[in-house]
Amino acid sequence: MTTPDVSVIRVRGASKQFRIRKDKSLKDRVVGIMREKRTSEEFWALRDIDLDIEAGTTVGLVGHNGSGKSTLLKLIGGILQPTTGIVQHRGRIAALLELGAGFHPDLTGRENVYLNASILGLSKQQTDSYFDAIVDFSGIERFIDAQVKFYSSGMYVRLAFAVAVHVDPEILLVDEVLAVGDEPFQRKCMDRIHQFQAEGRTIVLVSHSAEQVGELCHRAVVLDGGRIVFDGAAERGIQVLREGYETARVLAEAAAANASAAIARPADHATVDRVEVLDGAGAPVDSVASGDPLEVVITYRSSAPLTAWRGAMTIDTPLAQVVYGTNTELSGVEVPTLHGECQLRLRFPRVDLMSGTYHVTAALQALDGTSIDWKGQAASFTVTSPTTGVGIADLRPSIEAVPATSSHL
């Protein structure tokens, strides 16, 4: 996608193989050797990866669990070496990989700051000049002289991120670890990443959050089965990822239906019978325009009277992010005794969502929240919207560019 002479990261024909051991104990291993029994199998985490990343760009590596994105990030960072192919980079790299990577548990936070900085090529004098800023950013001053084995996961992330962004890296690698910190610290990290972008630094990000990729990244690389299946604009990459999740969901539901087909429910079992999505006129629909009305109808059924119950539902993205959720108790809706069928009709005057696929999950619960029956992603609908922004909500602001006046200066 880019030319090698302007690339700060260059990957050519890179593959990575791991060996997965089958023996479960030392005895199994010894017996396996004596019997010439194969005790491991080959697993290719990455296959034939070609990738160029330009200076000053932010690239998101995305894909489902096991797709190879974290392995690729480790190859770029030099943590792992490719089995075949080459991986090259120009400039100092700071990497935030799995939790605790690069930290020695028996050293204090202070000692680990100097250890990490030395690994990144900084002298003690340089680290001295950054130290106060690192500790201040991390917010763990009280614990800086405690051994990090006593740190919480959030404290690990705070200190690791603070070191990474204060050692003047030209390339920053981030692997999902920001999901561990609390919300104010995540916002603080995002602000620093935006600052890095403004300074023209290169960032490679692994994330399961489509919203985070859409907010930060110029480009998305989608991996599946250890191979790159898409490399291009972040918005399109997110769409490809969501389509992949949708395909996997359909296959999983089909398999689950086949597995449970022979299982009969008790005659008095109360169930979520079906979920329907209707348009403003009450007709079944699978696609609506952003801003249009929508109705969700959930039908519950019980062959014996059920008096203490509540109905619940959520609207979710394909990545399981809840867009909206409620239940009859929260909404102040009194439900009748459930005997036979009962319907909940949820009317949404406007569906102000961005383009994408959304799923409806419905539940039948006891009043203490215990699930009686549950149907995940029981119905789906697609929203179409002009591409005027990113995220989930289509807030449709009125935007006006007004020349600044002296009174505003």
CATH of the domain at 307: 2.70.50.60
Same domain, 296 and 234: no
> What's the domain count of the chain?
2
Note whether residue 194 is domain-resident: yes
- Give the pLDDT of residue 262: 42
Question: CATH number for the domain including 128?
Answer: 3.40.50.300
| pTM, rounded to two decimals | 0.65
Return per-residue pLDDT of the chain as tens, 409 residues: 444 447 999 999 999 999 876 655 555 555 555 555 555 678 899 999 999 999 999 999 999 888 999 999 999 999 899 999 999 999 989 888 766 666 888 999 999 999 988 887 788 999 999 999 999 999 999 999 999 999 988 888 889 889 888 888 999 999 876 666 677 888 888 888 999 999 999 999 998 877 788 888 989 999 999 999 999 998 888 888 877 776 666 666 566 555 544 444 433 479 999 999 999 999 999 999 999 999 999 999 999 999 999 999 999 987 678 899 999 999 999 999 999 999 999 999 999 999 888 999 999 999 888 888 989 889 999 999 887 777 788 888 888 998 876 555 5
Same domain, 8 and 41: yes
Note whether residue 250 is domain-resident: no
Beta-carbon count within 10 A of 340 CB: 10
Q: Which domain does 8 fall in, by range? A: 4-244
Same domain, 275 and 208: no
Same domain, 329 and 279: yes
Note whether residue 258 is domain-resident: no
Same domain, 44 and 112: yes
User: Cα separations (Å) of 60 from 53, 66, 166?
Assistant: 11, 16, 22
Note whether residue 400 is domain-resident: no
Paired tokens of 337: 């005794």
Same domain, 228 and 171: yes
Same domain, 143 and 208: yes
Same domain, 79 and 156: yes
Note whether residue 165 is domain-resident: yes
Same domain, 43 and 123: yes
Paired tokens of 184: 């104010």
User: Cα separations (Å) of 182 from 91, 166, 188?
Assistant: 31, 20, 10
Whole-number Å distance between alpha carbons of 83 and 62: 22
